[in-house]
Structure 1
Amino acid sequence: MRLCVVLFAAMSGIVAGCSGTMQGVVRGEGTPVQFQYEQGVDRDFYRTSIDGESFSGQAVNAGATSGVGTVFANGATGTVLVTSSSGNFVAVLMGDRGSTMRCQMNYADSSGFTSMGGVGICQHSDGRVIDVTW
């Protein structure tokens, strides 16, 4: 299920914030793991529960770059902020019982719009690997 709520964020220029679910499976066990996400302005927030332990954390764009460029139009020049994204996100989730998970997510939309889907992999601090899709 995906839920998008239209927001107006004058300071950030972002117009949509979304939330939804990601489906995961523990590799070799087949145990399902459901993740919840909320798309933020400059990062996403993930939550899940495994074996009764609640995990939460944030994902940041690992391939983002930014810089300043010059544009020429109608005989005038201007300066613009130029950004690019690879759609590759890295997340660290902290468990409420001391465990951690590190996730590498590849968003289908290279700009990082989470609700467009993607695939990923998370590794639990006990060594288990969770394959994720949404």
Structure 2
Amino acid sequence: MGIDNVTYNLIKKGMDVTTLSGKVINNNISNVNTKDYKREYVNFDEALKEENSKNYELKKTSNKHMGFSADDIEVKKDNKSSMREDGNNVDIESEMTSAASNSLMYDALVKQANTRFNMRSTVIKGGN
């Protein structure tokens, strides 16, 4: 598999991870006052490392085969001790910081994908 395909797959996986992570963070924020709710999270680095190792192991018979889906991203539950007496362990400030960070990461990945598409378009058009 060429480096361009590996890079594209990593960017796409990153976008899938940040999309799911945004949903998980929003769910945590929505449940900040729910008794016994335990926050959930997506480990971005772990998901990308797993995808990177897959890119070099899988044989693909068509360029249309992606090799992964958003379904294989694991959402984990944080069952550590609760911060509050009601059993809820959501820290709203931490979740808001995570939401902002996640949004910045998604935007950076979109820009990276757009840059790659624009470069290919320029090459196809002969540099014009």
TM superposition score category, shorter chain reference: under 0.3
RCO comparison, higher one (Cα < 8 Å, 6+) = 2
Give the TM-score, by structure 1 length: 0.24
Structure number with higher helix proportion: 2
